[in-house]
């Protein structure tokens, strides 16, 4: 395994650009502000589609600290489409077993067994700087192949002026300010989004009155590769809950719930942090403190993710508590959702209204994530005597009774949202399995050669299973792939049939560039497919 530490600075050092000397603001089709996971995934996706994109970041590299560490299967599938997935999985720690303790006692354990017939595991743990640096490497490789993408580090956006036909931004650099013009601007500038502030836009929600201490430690202990979570941990000073989780490079994430009234500076004193960690690991375990931080939970979202030509994505648009790994993972799904839409709109192949569907779909996903995250937080930090009473009753019963285990909520782990009933989602005219219904992300399945998701390559695709694709003559002018599979030849494990046909003898699926299912039929006329395709690019039915 690669043991090199993640490069934390100067991955995209400041360099003077010709745009800074231009007499008039240089025009760019798409500017992405923020080179975090969301901005990088979005930019790489656009560049791979051939739409020119400029990334501006106020830093010059990923920065320090592990930060996001849990990347979910859907993120890995998106990364696979971008050519980065294998790298992430090879470096990441694959885990599936979680144990929940109450005080000294183990209440139960769960196993997120890798689903048979999926290329990717349910989760990997990987420090965020690795994720970012692999994306930057892929962007460099794309650049070398001529892809129209550029990252400018040390470029801080300090002003924004939305206009009818473009967005004018002022950018501060070590050589002084300059201005740029963008047809579309994606604000991926994080939880404290400066762009959101400059536009005076609200960020409504709840702050949970609690502080969590993160201590990432490096040690060569033989703890298993499992997620251990304690309610009322039995070690001194651990607070109301604690978490132990493994990352690559022998680094372990430790989390302590400290409560609301604390002295942050005092709690971050390394001696005090070490006392807590010693109590948890045992005094004879030696380790190094890699990174410490204190954070509070917030669940917030912007009312609208699209403001004219400015689109907000990731933490800039919505914020959840970390339990459930729904922050970075949902932001990466935002990028996946936005990239193909922005590409089609920029090329003039789809109306601007398609971008409203970004706000609609990812707004619904944000609501789902906030709901799950809020419920987990309410279980973790009971806010009333009744909440404490029932939480303790659940933990008590869960030791002996399976029914109570499903009520324990230490974070419902991130799953992709299904766009049920939303504007782009078409008809379900197959009596097929619910997991692949219209709106859902296509579910992976092993084929005779490779995996199904590898065959859904980022364009609209008509997938025919034991069926023929009718002649389509009235397409709305966008690229369309055709993929015909037969269960007798392509389905060695039966997973394709189970996941896409169920009891049906044959099926036609229309799948979007982001691999979400638009519509499915037992049998379809050309007009039915063409109409679903038009609706899926907001051209009306």
Partner 1 sequence: MALTDTPNIPDPDGFYDELLAAHAGLSAGQTHALNARLVLILANHIGDRDVLRAALATARAGAEGTR
Torsion (CA) 484, 488, 489, 493 in degrees, nearest 10: 110
Interaction between residue 382 and partner 1 (CB under 8 A): no
Residues 373, 320: Cα–Cα separation, whole Å: 6
Task: Work out which of 10, 141, 353, 389 binds partner 1, going by CB under 8 A.
Answer: 389
Kindly state the smallest distance separating residue 370's Cβ from partner 1, in Å: 22
Kindly state the smallest distance separating residue 403's Cβ from partner 1, in Å: 4
A 10 A CB-CB count for 399 gives 13
Residues 310, 303: Cα–Cα separation, whole Å: 14
Task: Work out which of 94, 198, 262, 407 binds partner 1, going by CB under 8 A.
Answer: 407
Nearest to residue 309, comparing CAs of 75, 55, 541, 28?
A: 28
Residues 533, 175: Cα–Cα separation, whole Å: 48
Kindly state the smallest distance separating residue 380's Cβ from partner 1, in Å: 18
Q: Rg of the chain's alpha carbons, rounded to an integer?
A: 24
3-state secondary structure (DSSP) of residue 248 = coil
Kindly state the smallest distance separating residue 386's Cβ from partner 1, in Å: 8
Kindly state the smallest distance separating residue 408's Cβ from partner 1, in Å: 12
Residues 193, 319: Cα–Cα separation, whole Å: 11
Interaction between residue 221 and partner 1 (CB under 8 A): no
Residues 178, 272: Cα–Cα separation, whole Å: 46
Interaction between residue 404 and partner 1 (CB under 8 A): yes
Interaction between residue 397 and partner 1 (CB under 8 A): yes
Placement of tokens 């990334």 in the chain? 55
Q: Which is nearer to partner 1, 258 or 394 (CB)?
A: 394
Interaction between residue 401 and partner 1 (CB under 8 A): yes
Task: Work out which of 393, 468, 477, 525 binds partner 1, going by CB under 8 A.
Answer: 393
Per DSSP bridges, beta strands 428-429 and 517-521 are parallel
Task: Work out which of 250, 392, 481, 523 binds partner 1, going by CB under 8 A.
Answer: 392
Binding window for partner 1 (CB under 8 A); candidates: 1-9, 275-283, 312-320, 392-400: 392-400
Task: Work out which of 200, 224, 263, 403 binds partner 1, going by CB under 8 A.
Answer: 403
Give backbone dihedrals phi and psi of 196, rounded to 5 degrees, phi first: -60, -45
Task: Work out which of 390, 429, 469, 475 binds partner 1, going by CB under 8 A.
Answer: 390
Task: Work out which of 136, 277, 394, 440 binds partner 1, going by CB under 8 A.
Answer: 394
Count of residues engaged in binding partner 1, rule: CB under 8 A = 11
Residues 322, 258: Cα–Cα separation, whole Å: 15
Q: Which is nearer to partner 1, 285 or 397 (CB)?
A: 397
Residues 107, 109: Cα–Cα separation, whole Å: 7
Q: What residues make contact with partner 1 under the rule CB under 8 A?
A: 389-390, 392-394, 396-397, 401, 403-404, 407
């Amino acid at each position: 395994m690669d043991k090199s530490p993640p490069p934390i600075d100067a991955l995209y050092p400041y360099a003077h650009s010709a745009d800074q000397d231009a007499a008039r603001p240089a025009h760019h089709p798409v500017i992405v502000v923020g080179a975090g996971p969301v901005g990088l995934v979005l930019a790489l996706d656009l560049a791979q589609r051939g739409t020119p994109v400029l990334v501006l970041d106020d830093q010059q590299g990923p920065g320090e600290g592990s930060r996001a560490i849990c990347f979910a299967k859907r993120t890995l599938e998106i990364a696979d489409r971008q050519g980065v997935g294998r790298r992430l999985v090879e470096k990441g720690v694959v885990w599936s077993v979680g144990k929940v303790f109450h005080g000294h006692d183990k209440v139960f354990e769960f196993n997120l067994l890798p689903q048979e017939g999926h290329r990717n595991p349910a989760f990997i743990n990987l420090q965020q700087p690795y994720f970012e640096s692999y994306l930057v490497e892929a962007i460099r490789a794309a650049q070398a192949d001529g892809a129209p993408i550029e990252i400018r580090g040390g470029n801080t956006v300090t002003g924004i002026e939305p206009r009818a036909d473009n967005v004018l931004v002022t950018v501060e650099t070590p050589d002084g300010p300059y201005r740029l013009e963008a047809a579309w601007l994606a604000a991926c500038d994080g939880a404290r989004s400066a762009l959101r502030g400059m536009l005076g836009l609200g960020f409504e929600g709840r702050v949970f009155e609690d502080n969590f201490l993160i201590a990432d430690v490096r040690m060569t202990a033989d703890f298993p590769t499992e997620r251990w979570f304690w309610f009322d941990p039995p070690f001194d000073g651990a607070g109301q809950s604690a978490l132990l989780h493994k990352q690559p490079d022998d680094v372990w994430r430790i989390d302590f719930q400290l409560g609301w009234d604390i002295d942050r500076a005092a709690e971050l004193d390394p001696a005090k942090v070490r006392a807590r960690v010693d109590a948890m690991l045992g005094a004879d375990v030696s380790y190094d403190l890699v990174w410490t931080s204190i954070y509070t939970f917030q669940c917030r979202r912007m009312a609208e993710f699209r403001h004219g030509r400015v689109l907000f994505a990731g933490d800039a648009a919505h914020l959840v508590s970390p339990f459930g790994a729904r922050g970075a993972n949902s932001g990466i799904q935002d990028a996946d959702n936005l990239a193909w839409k922005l590409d089609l709109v920029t090329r003039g192949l789809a109306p601007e209204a398609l971008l409203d569907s970004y706000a609609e779909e990812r707004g619904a996903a944000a609501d789902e994530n906030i709901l799950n995250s809020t419920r987990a937080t309410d279980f973790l930090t009971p806010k009333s005597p009744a909440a404490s009473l029932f939480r303790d009753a659940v933990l008590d019963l869960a030791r002996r009774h399976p029914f109570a285990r499903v009520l324990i909520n230490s974070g419902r782990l991130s799953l992709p949202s299904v766009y049920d009933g939303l504007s782009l989602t078409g008809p379900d005219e197959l009596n097929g399995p619910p997991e692949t219904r219209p709106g859902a992300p296509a579910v992976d399945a092993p084929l005779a050669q490779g995996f199904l998701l590898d065959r859904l390559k980022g364009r609209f695709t008509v997938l025919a299973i034991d069926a023929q694709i009718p002649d389509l003559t009235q397409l709305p002018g966008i690229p369309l792939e055709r993929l015909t599979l037969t269960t007798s030849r392509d389905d060695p494990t039966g997973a394709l049939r189970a996941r896409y046909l169920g009891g049906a003898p044959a099926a036609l699926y229309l799948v979007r560039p982001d691999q979400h299912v638009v519509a499915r039929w037992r049998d379809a006329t050309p007009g039915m497919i063409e109409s679903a395709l038009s609706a899926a690019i907001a051209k009306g039915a």
